[in-house]
């Protein structure tokens, strides 16, 4: 739908979201459609002219599945195709759509492909408009617009955000998906790093990065799933990788940020210039301190990678869970001071290592780390299947462990998901280890059906195999952990109430049990359930929170940036109509 047509429609139907007259907006709230303070058509037209016609009115992609509502355009065949695409291709289907959230929870049943056709199709929590960002001037225009018109702002590339930060009712979205810069240099030179580097635009996904740097003879630290954005929530939110044990976390790789601050300043942030902004962006969370247009990160010479898989099944429950506990206990020894990474799933029926990743090694490295463990399986009568491979490059390894790029196949398709960092001390202590296994055993049972995805990674600052990195805001809990783990359950499109019950169980039972079992530690701030009720400031940001808050206030004096669980988020509330409002204490 054209911007002018959508504006005319909004004006014709009058107030939105069930309001019968235009309410006067409390001064502490951002405006939403239907409020007297919502910008007029001429104001939006002026913005569209300023940015060269790059303003996009959101039309929910599922409008073809509905016969009612202002967006309805029912088409039975198109709807059926969309349903199949979403269930089969997952987030790749919605990624090119500027206004669509990845997490179905944030549809709030307002326009879903799977709700009844006669249920009205409405915007709900989606952004009302998006700016198709082509450079810093578009971002500056958008920031000026929301400051002057008291409109909520969100930022979106892929929308792969479990907390809904890339969507919001009544918002203007800065859609950075088409910022496709990719450029390598052999000789990035600075006081803090000299060597090869790659500049990655904010619209690039990981699969595009891997294919590009492979063609140049390099590898980089990035998301395992090729459909994940690279420069946004992933790197700004710490970022773990199959290469973390070898080279560090994603935030550790950052050499420079190209960013527009909330005040509209276009700057390059490095450890030498705008050092506080650099520090905050490198691990302190996305959508908080500025709008990132690109990130420059370290690149490493590519080479062979040893890979493999291991599977053993629950043929004897007690023996199986003993073996899973022993697997965790041996985890620190597998990856300490080495480039090794081990990714696996645990269910009540199987432990499946779907990816051993050993950069610059051959399969003898896998045989070596498993030598103490496999006899333990044999002694417990647990048969196993082990396969190992020698790959010629990191890209070949990724294609075999996650599927064809750029999107990948072994990637989450709208799961109900949380995360927890597992300290080394927990898995090495027999009592604490058993407590954790008891939690797994309880919630992976058929009654609940959860499974847990984990990675053994070495993130310690004193590693002998990794380069030093500039100081950053990565939560120190990462440096104390041996594993990063995700409780998972699939989203039930045909029964969303089932998934809501799963979310409530995750936040109310499973996750608190994991917290008790693992003690004082953290989470991956990009992958925590939106209903999480724990101490989010500590688990996500740790001792850095207060400094991050100071930096947030310094660079965002106009209160432009907000996201669920971002630094400073508790200064805001969502009112009953969905408006973002300043909290009153």
Q: Can you give the pLDDT at residue 409?
A: 65
Q: Tokens for 340, please give them.
A: 């090794």
Q: What is the mean pLDDT of residues 512-540?
A: 96
Q: Can you give the pLDDT at residue 16?
A: 35
Q: Is 225 helix (H, G, I), strand (E, B) or coil?
A: coil
pLDDT digits (tens, 9 = 90+) for 32-86: 999 999 999 999 999 999 999 999 999 999 999 999 999 999 999 999 999 988 8
* Class at the top of the CATH hierarchy for domain 3-173: alpha beta
Tokens 């950053």 map to which residue? 472
Tokens 């799963």 map to which residue? 502
Q: Can you give the pLDDT at residue 14?
A: 36
**How many other CB atoms are found less than 10 A from the CB of residue 15?**
17
Containing 353, the helix (H) or strand (E) segment is strand 350-359
Cβ-in-10-Å burial (0-12, 13-18, 19+) of 109 comes to: middle
pLDDT > 90: what percent of the chain? 82
Q: What is the DSSP letter of 207?
A: H
Confidence of residue 6 (pLDDT cuts 50, 70, 90): very low
Confidence of residue 566 (pLDDT cuts 50, 70, 90): very high
Q: Is 544 helix (H, G, I), strand (E, B) or coil?
A: helix
pLDDT higher than 90, residue 314? yes
Q: Can you give the pLDDT at residue 101?
A: 83
CA distance 361 to 465: 14
**Higher per-residue pLDDT: 580 or 227:** 580
pLDDT digits (tens, 9 = 90+) for 365-374: 999 999 999 9
pLDDT digits (tens, 9 = 90+) for 237-265: 999 999 999 999 999 999 999 999 999 99
What residues contact 100, with CB distance under 8 A and at least 6 apart? 60, 61, 94, 126, 159
pLDDT > 70: what percent of the chain? 93
Q: Can you give the pLDDT at residue 3?
A: 46
The widest CA-to-CA distance across the chain, in whole angstroms, is 76
Confidence of residue 18 (pLDDT cuts 50, 70, 90): very low
**How many other CB atoms are found less than 10 A from the CB of residue 368?**
14
Q: Tokens for 371, please give them.
A: 């030598």
- Where are the chain's structural domains? 3-173, 182-301+541-582, 305-393+410-534
Q: What is the mean pLDDT of residues 89-105?
A: 79
Q: What is the mean pLDDT of residues 539-564?
A: 98
Q: Can you give the pLDDT at residue 298?
A: 98
pLDDT digits (tens, 9 = 90+) for 384-399: 999 999 999 999 999 9
Confidence of residue 24 (pLDDT cuts 50, 70, 90): low
Confidence of residue 90 (pLDDT cuts 50, 70, 90): low
The angle subtended at Cα 255 by Cα 208 and Cα 460, nearest 5°, is 95
Q: Is the peptide bond before 406 cis (omega within 30 degrees of 0)?
A: yes
pLDDT digits (tens, 9 = 90+) for 266-311: 999 999 999 999 999 999 999 999 999 999 999 999 999 999 999 9
Q: Can you give the pLDDT at residue 19?
A: 34
Q: Which CATH number fits domain 182-301+541-582: 3.30.465.10, 3.40.50.720, 2.60.40.1480, 3.40.50.620?
A: 3.30.465.10
The arrangement of secondary structure in 305-393+410-534, i.e. its CATH architecture, is 3-Layer(aba) Sandwich (3.40)
pLDDT higher than 80, residue 509? yes
pLDDT higher than 70, residue 185? yes
Q: Can you give the pLDDT at residue 22?
A: 57
Q: Can you give the pLDDT at residue 327?
A: 99
Q: What is the mean pLDDT of residues 139-153?
A: 98
């Amino acid at each position: 739908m054209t911007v002018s047509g959508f504006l005319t429609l909004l004006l014709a139907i009058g107030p939105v979201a069930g309001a019968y007259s235009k309410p006067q907006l409390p001064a502490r709230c951002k405006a939403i459609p239907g409020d007297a303070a919502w910008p007029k058509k001429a104001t939006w037209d002026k913005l569209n002219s300023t940015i060269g016609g790059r303003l996009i009115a959101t039309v929910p992609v599922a409008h073809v599945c509905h016969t009612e509502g202002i967006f309805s355009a029912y088409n039975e065949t198109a709807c059926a195709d969309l349903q199949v695409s979403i269930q089969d291709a997952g987030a790749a289907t919605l990624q090119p759509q500027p206004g669509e959230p990845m997490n179905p929870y944030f549809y709030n049943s307002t326009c879903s492909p799977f709700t009844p056709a006669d249920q009205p199709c409405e915007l709900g929590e989606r952004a009302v408009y998006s700016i198709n960002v082509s450079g810093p001037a578009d971002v500056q225009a958008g920031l000026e617009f929301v400051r002057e018109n008291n409109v909520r702002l969100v930022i979106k590339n892929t929308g792969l955000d479990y907390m809904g930060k890339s969507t919001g009712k009544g918002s203007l979205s800065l859609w950075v998906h088409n910022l496709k810069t990719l450029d390598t240099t052999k000789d990035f030179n600075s006081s803090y790093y000299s060597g090869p580097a790659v500049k990655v635009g904010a619209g690039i996904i990981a699969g595009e990065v891997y294919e590009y740097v492979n063609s140049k003879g390099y590898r980089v630290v990035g998301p395992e799933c090729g459909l994940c954005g690279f420069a946004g929530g992933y790197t700004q939110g710490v970022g773990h990788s199959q290469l973390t044990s070898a080279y560090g976390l994603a935030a550790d790789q950052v050499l420079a940020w190209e960013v527009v601050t909330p005040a509209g300043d276009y700057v390059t942030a490095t450890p030498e210039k705008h050092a506080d902004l650099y520090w905050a962006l490198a691990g302190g969370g996305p959508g908080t301190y500025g709008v990132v247009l690109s990130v420059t990160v370290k690149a490493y010479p590519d080479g062979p990678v040893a890979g493999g898989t291991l599977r053993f099944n629950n043929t004897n429950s007690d023996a199986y869970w003993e073996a899973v506990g022993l697997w965790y206990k041996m985890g620190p020894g597998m990856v300490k001071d080495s480039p090794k990474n081990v990714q696996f799933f645990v269910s009540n029926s199987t432990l499946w290592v779907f990816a051993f990743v050993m950069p610059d090694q051959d399969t003898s490295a896998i045989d070596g780390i498993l030598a103490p463990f496999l006899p333990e399986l044999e002694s417990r009568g647990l048969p196993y299947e082990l396969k190992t491979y020698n790959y010629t490059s990191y890209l070949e390894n990724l294609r075999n462990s996650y599927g064809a790029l750029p999107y990948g196949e072994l990637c989450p398709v709208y799961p109900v998901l949380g995360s927890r960092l597992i300290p080394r001390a927990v898995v090495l202590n027999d009592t604490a280890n058993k407590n954790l296994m008891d939690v797994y055993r309880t919630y992976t049972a058929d009654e609940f059906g959860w499974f847990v995805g984990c990675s053994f990674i070495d993130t310690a600052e004193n590693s002998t195999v990794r380069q030093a990195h500039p100081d950053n805001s990565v939560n120190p809990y990462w440096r104390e952990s041996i594993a990063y783990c995700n409780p998972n359950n699939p989203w039930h499109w045909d029964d969303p109430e089932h998934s809501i019950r799963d979310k409530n169980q995750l936040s109310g039972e499973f996750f608190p049990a994991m917290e008790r079992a693992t003690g004082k530690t953290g989470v991956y701030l990009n992958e925590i359930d939106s209903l999480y009720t724990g101490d989010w400031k500590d688990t996500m940001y740790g001792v850095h929170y207060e400094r991050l808050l100071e930096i947030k206030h310094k660079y965002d004096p106009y209160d432009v940036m907000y996201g669920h669980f971002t630094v400073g988020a508790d200064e805001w509330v969502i009112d009953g109509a969905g408006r973002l409002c300043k909290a009153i204490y």
